[in-house]
């Protein structure tokens, strides 16, 4: 049944947005998209810049790095180097999406489809988000964090707090439990437990660092060492064991750690998340058009914007900045749908389980149970590789030349897929660094061990990070770089006068 178009011109109004949201919501329900309730907020472009700079968080604690980010965004925007994103969406319940007042009505519809139904359903459905974040509590927690940190600033001075935050931010990526599910966070709970925790930690800590030797002395050989097992969550390790931190400093470490944990799923699902939202805005907008709810002009405007978002420059294009997650994700979901609806012989060999299946079951499954790495490993089809002309190269510093390892041909599909999946594996992308030893009886120094991945050394920023770590730990910090069980290099903070002569 053809309807009358919802709107003709480009001007939007609250009634139109509401109408649009209802129509899109109804369609989304037909497709079985399960979402949190939406909270759509209309903001100005300068507010969008604010939101940008605070990584999209509606409330955040104060820190100079957000100011830097803001200054940068503002500068680029003023010079016209960068258009602002049409939308920012926050993984919370209700799911908050920002719409800019400058957008035309068509763009508002696009953003509603993209953010309020695409991203929203991803947040609610994907297993990483379900396990690692608590959408109902995040806003409360952010408020708690902001209040706590400003109280610390009042009590201990902005400088003091800032240096702790700087140090924590440097280690933020190492503040994540990768395997253990963390407790859900909630503000009230935090506040209630915070005092209790401060006392408890301090007591336990004193136990660990007791200066009086234990009556029953352990032999050196018997000493299991501390920590018993290597610790990969450095911030957690510091929060619980750093000898000199004040309780409020520990709490700040904890706040940064919780934030890192909250963002951890987003960092692992970029391709999937953006691809999913793009796939759905494309599907929903086309449905609206088919039902006559959008004018020809609107759908053209939508398509122009959609295409520019999906633009993937070739590797030799001056504008090439790596693979566009929107393009890759959208291509993969669209191709999954194609595999279900019009499977070829190739698809039947590669995807026997899903070829010819029902796309409305296959796609949500693929959205729910994977992260970028496993999603690509599982679902990147030969057709997508051919369409994008993907090829993998190996750049080995022991080799004078770069080798093309595999291309989009029959022999290369699996290899390209593995390489691409590896590229999205956070475990490979970030150096593997663990806390392995604390010299409890000697100088209280902390030793970290870096296990090199593919012989890759650490970047020059390492020294600076160690300084931050040293500030938190309070005693010397050593870092050993290992490759195949042999020590490659060490660095120390404070720097040691003479290098480790053998």
Partner 1 sequence: MNYIIDRRLNGKNKNAVNRQRFLDRYKGHIKRAVADAVNERSITDMERGEEVHVPSRDLAEPVFQHGVGGRRSVVHPGNKEFVAGDRIARPNGGAGGGSGEGEAADSGEGEDDFVFQLTREEFLEYLFDDLALPNLTKRHLKGNASFKYERAGYSTDGVPTKLSVLRSLQSAKARRIALGGRTRRTLRELEQRLTDADAAGDEFNTFRLREEAEQLRARLKRIPFLDTTDLRYKLHLKRPVPTSQAVMFCLMDVSGSMDQETKDMAKRFYLLLYMFLKRHYERTEIVFIRHHTTAKEVSEQDFFYSRETGGTVVSSALKLMQEIVEERYSADAWNIYGAQASDGDNWSDDSPVCAKLLEERLLPVVQHFAYIEITRRDHQALWREYQAVAEAHPETFALRNIQNPADIFPVFHGLFQRRDAA
Q: Which of residues 29-48 bind partner 1 (CB under 8 A)?
A: 37-44, 46-47
Q: How many CA atoms lie within 13 A of 424 on its CB side?
A: 28
Q: Residue 11 interacts with partner 1 (CB under 8 A)?
A: no
Query: At closest approach, how far in Å is the CB of 305 from partner 1?
Result: 21
Min separation Cβ 58 and partner 1, Å:
9
Asked if 139 contacts 58 with a C-beta cutoff of 8 angstroms, the reply is yes
Task: In whole angstroms, give the CA distance from residue 112 to residue 110.
Answer: 5
User: Is residue 124 near partner 1 by the rule CB under 8 A?
Assistant: no
Nearer to partner 1, 54 or 283 (CB): 54
Distance of CA 373 to the CA centre of its chain: 13
Q: Reduce the DSSP state of residue 383 to 3 states and report it.
A: helix
Q: With contacts defined by CB under 8 A, name the span among 193-201, 206-214, 281-289, 459-467 that binds partner 1.
A: 459-467
Provide the mask over 91-120, with x wherever binding to partner 1 is found by CB under 8 A and - wherever it is not. ---x---x--x--------------x----
Q: Please report whether residue 252 would count as binding partner 1 according to CB under 8 A.
A: no
| Binding track over 323-362 against partner 1, x by CB under 8 A | x---------------------------------------
Q: Which of residues 424-443 bind partner 1 (CB under 8 A)?
A: 429-431, 433
Of all helices (H) and strands (E), which one includes residue 261? helix 247-268
CB 35 within 8 A of CB 95: yes
Q: Does 388 bind partner 1 (CB under 8 A)?
A: yes
Quote the least distance from Cβ 111 to partner 1, whole Å: 12
Q: What x-and-dash track marks residues 53-82 binding partner 1 by CB under 8 A?
A: xx-------xxxxxxx-xxx-xx--x----
For the CB of residue 325, give the shortest distance to partner 1 in the complex, in Å. Answer: 10
Task: Give the three-class secondary structure for 96.
Answer: strand
Report the DSSP beta bridge partners of residue 430.
none
- Terminal CA-to-CA distance of the chain, rounded, Å? 83
Cβ-contact 8, 295 below 8 angstroms: yes
Per DSSP, the residues of 21-79 read: HHHHHHHHHHTT---PPEEEEEE-HHHHHHHHHTTT-SS----HHHHHHHHHHHHHHHT
For residue 344, give both structure tokens.
């070829």
Q: How far is the CB of 366 from partner 1 (least distance, A)?
A: 20
Tell me which of 392, 470, 477, 491 binds partner 1, using CB under 8 A. Answer: 392
Q: How many CB atoms lie within 10 A of CB 120?
A: 30
Please give the residues from 163 up to 202 whose contact with partner 1 meets the rule CB under 8 A: 166, 169-174
Question: Rg (Cα) of the chain, in Å, rounded?
Answer: 26
CB of 142 to partner 1, least distance (A): 13
Smallest distance from the beta carbon of 144 to partner 1, in angstroms?
Answer: 18
Of 204 and 432, the one with the shorter C-beta distance to partner 1 is: 432
* Residue whose CB is less far from partner 1, 306 or 468: 468
Q: Which residues contact 439 (CB under 8 A, 6 or more apart)?
A: 445, 446, 447
Q: Is 407 in the site for partner 1 (CB under 8 A)?
A: yes
**In terms of Cα–Cα distance, which of 48, 236, 27 is closest to 113?**
27
Task: Please choose, out of 201-209, 286-294, 320-328, 362-370, the segment that lies near partner 1 by the rule CB under 8 A.
Answer: 320-328
What letter does residue 183 receive in the DSSP assignment? P
* Torsion angles phi and psi, residue 135, rounded to 5: -65, -30
Of the residues 225, 315, 361, 440, which one makes contact with partner 1 according to CB under 8 A: 315
Q: Tell me whether the omega of the peptide bond preceding residue 122 falls within 30 degrees of 0, making it cis.
A: no
Of 30 and 195, nearer to partner 1 (C-beta) is 30
Residue closer to partner 1 (CB basis): 97 or 354: 97
Tell me whether residue 49 or residue 293 sits nearer to partner 1 (CB atom). Answer: 49
């Amino acid at each position: 049944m053809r309807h009358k178009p919802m709107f003709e011109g480009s001007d939007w109004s609250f009634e139109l947005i509401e109408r649009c949201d209802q129509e899109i919501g109804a369609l989304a329900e037909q497709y079985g998209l399960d979402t949190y309730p939406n909270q759509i907020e209309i903001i100005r472009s300068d507010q969008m810049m604010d939101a940008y700079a605070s990584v999209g968080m509606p409330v955040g604690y104060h820190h100079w790095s957000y100011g830097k980010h803001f200054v940068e965004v503002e500068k680029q925007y003023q010079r016209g180097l960068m258009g602002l994103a049409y939308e920012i969406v926050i993984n919370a319940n209700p799911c908050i999406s920002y719409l800019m007042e400058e957008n035309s009505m068509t763009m508002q519809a696009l953003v509603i489809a993209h953010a309020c139904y695409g991203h929203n359903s991803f947040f609610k459905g994907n297993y990483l988000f379900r396990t690692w974040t608590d959408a109902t509590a995040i806003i409360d927690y952010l408020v708690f964090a902001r209040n706590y940190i400003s109280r610390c600033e009042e009590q201990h001075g902005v400088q003091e707090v800032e240096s702790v935050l700087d140090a924590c931010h440097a280690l933020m990526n190492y503040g994540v439990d990768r395997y253990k599910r963390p407790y859900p966070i909630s503000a009230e709970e935090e506040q209630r437990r915070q005092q209790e925790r401060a006392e408890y930690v301090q007591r336990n800590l004193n136990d660990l660092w007791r200066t009086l030797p234990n009556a029953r002395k352990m032999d050196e050989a018997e000493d299991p060492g501390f920590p018993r097992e290597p610790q990969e969550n450095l911030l957690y390790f510091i929060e619980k064991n750093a000898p000199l931190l004040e309780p409020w400093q520990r709490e700040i470490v904890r706040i940064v750690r919780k934030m890192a944990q909250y963002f951890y799923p987003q960092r692992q699902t970029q391709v999937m998340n953006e691809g999913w939202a793009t796939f759905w805005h494309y599907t929903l907008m086309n449905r609206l058009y088919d039902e006559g709810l959008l004018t020809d002009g609107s759908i053209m405007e939508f398509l122009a914007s959609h295409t520019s978002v999906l633009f993937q420059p070739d590797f030799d294009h001056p504008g090439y900045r790596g693979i566009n997650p929107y393009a890759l994700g959208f291509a993969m979901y669209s191709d999954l749908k194609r595999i279900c609806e019009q499977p070829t012989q190739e698809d039947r060999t590669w995807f026997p389980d899903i070829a010819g299946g029902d796309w409305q079951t296959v796609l949500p499954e693929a959205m729910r149970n994977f992260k970028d790495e496993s999603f690509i490993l599982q679902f990147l089809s030969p057709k997508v590789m051919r369409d994008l002309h993907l090829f993998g190269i190996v750049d080995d510093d022991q080799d004078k030349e770069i080798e093309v390892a595999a291309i989009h041909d029959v022999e290369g599909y699996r290899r390209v897929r593995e390489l691409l999946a590896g590229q999205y594996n956070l475990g490979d992308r970030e150096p593997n660094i663990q806390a392995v030893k604390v010299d409890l009886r000697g100088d209280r120094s902390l030793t970290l061990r870096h296990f090199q991945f593919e012989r890759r050394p650490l970047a020059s920023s390492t020294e600076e990070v160690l300084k931050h770590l040293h500030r938190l730990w309070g005693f010397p910090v050593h870092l050993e770089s290992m490759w195949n069980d042999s020590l490659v290099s060490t660095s120390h903070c404070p720097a040691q006068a003479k290098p480790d002569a053998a």
